[in-house]
Amino acid sequence: MAFKTAAPSSATLVFSTITAPIRSKVTLSALALASSVLLAGCSTTSQTTDLITVDRAQGSEENIASLTAVINANPGDPEGYNVRGSAYGRAGQFKQALDDFNRAIQLNPQFYQAYANRALVYRNMGKPVEAANDYNRAIQLNSSYDVAYIGRGNIYRQAGRNDEAFNDFNRAIQLDTTDGRAYHNRGLIYQLRGQHAQAIEDFSKAISLSPNSPEPYNGRAVSYLAMGDDENAFADINTAIAYNGKLAESWTNQGLVYETRGDRARAAKSFAHAARLDPNYQPAKDGLARTRSS
């Protein structure tokens, strides 16, 4: 999932995407089936919310070479290492990124943005403990840094510590963040709590901040469907597909709506397409098995 976020500062890794949009009356049993699988799909999508996506421009050899020239001219400036570390992160060169963030922090131990950036790299390397420690340090240095609360909240949420995650997303929102991830992720927790009206509000706010991201549309669709509004759910799912047609979750969600409507042929096509996009995505495989065998 990928949100376009308002650029916090040049010292912060800016994600071009986040896994943030998706998602006639149906019977209660069909609704229960659809909403439970949709929630699973949304939850799976949200696992990638903070992961670094490759950016050929920012992570290009030419860009990194130009940043290296700047560093060579000003070797004592921590900002240069922080910016180049972000470029290395975009290129998927995490060891080099860590080296640069380490150097930036060594030069300026109060550089809270560098701690948050290093935390993001640790997350991509599958090191949540190290990432959480860096987010904690960033917050200690600047208690108003929304990026660190959002990053730490994602670590808490993915560890099942939803109350702590909720508090972090709430804090970022209280700080007037313009980062749609805070609203999207808080919406996911509202969803898990069965508070779908509040979830819809949060997903709608995330969409207003990041209108071209598919994840919040998928998330809102889940809550619409749980409230029996399959028309709005279907519209959101199709919007998510229009913005990014390569997400297996979105096609699975589309299949679920077709299935609740009794259109098993179209449902099977959607599930099959989702399974081709991600052969390991279990909700798509399950849906295809149900609709093909009927």
pLDDT confidence band for 56 (50 / 70 / 90): low
pLDDT confidence band for 60 (50 / 70 / 90): confident
- Identify the pLDDT of residue 49: 53
What is the DSSP-derived secondary structure letter of residue 54? P
Tens of pLDDT, residue by residue over 36-48, are: 444 443 433 444 4
For residues 57-86, give the mean pLDDT.
90
Helices assigned H by DSSP within 51-127: 61-73, 78-90, 94-107, 112-124
Q: What CA–CA distance (Å, rounded) separates 210 from 175? A: 18
| Whole-Å CA distances, 238 to 32, 144, 214, 277 | 21, 37, 9, 16
Q: What CA–CA distance (Å, rounded) separates 263 from 19? A: 28
Mean pLDDT of the chain: 84
Instruction: State what percent of residues in the chain have pLDDT above 90.
Output: 77
pLDDT confidence band for 27 (50 / 70 / 90): very low
For residues 253-272, give the mean pLDDT.
95
| Whole-Å CA distances, 137 to 1, 111, 202, 250 | 27, 10, 28, 37
pLDDT at residue 24 above 90?
no
- Identify the pLDDT of residue 54: 47
- Identify the pLDDT of residue 254: 96
pLDDT at residue 78 above 90?
yes
pTM of the model: 0.81
For residues 193-201, give the mean pLDDT.
97
Tens of pLDDT, residue by residue over 225-262, are: 999 999 999 999 999 999 999 999 999 999 999 998 99
pLDDT at residue 77 above 90?
yes
- Identify the pLDDT of residue 43: 36
Tens of pLDDT, residue by residue over 146-169, are: 999 999 999 999 999 999 999 999
Considering only residues 217 and 19, tell me which one the structure prediction assigns the higher pLDDT: 217
- Identify the pLDDT of residue 39: 43
pLDDT confidence band for 58 (50 / 70 / 90): low
- Identify the pLDDT of residue 59: 63
pLDDT at residue 120 above 60?
yes
- Identify the pLDDT of residue 46: 42
Name the region of 126 (left: φ>0; alpha: ψ -120 to 50; beta: rest): left
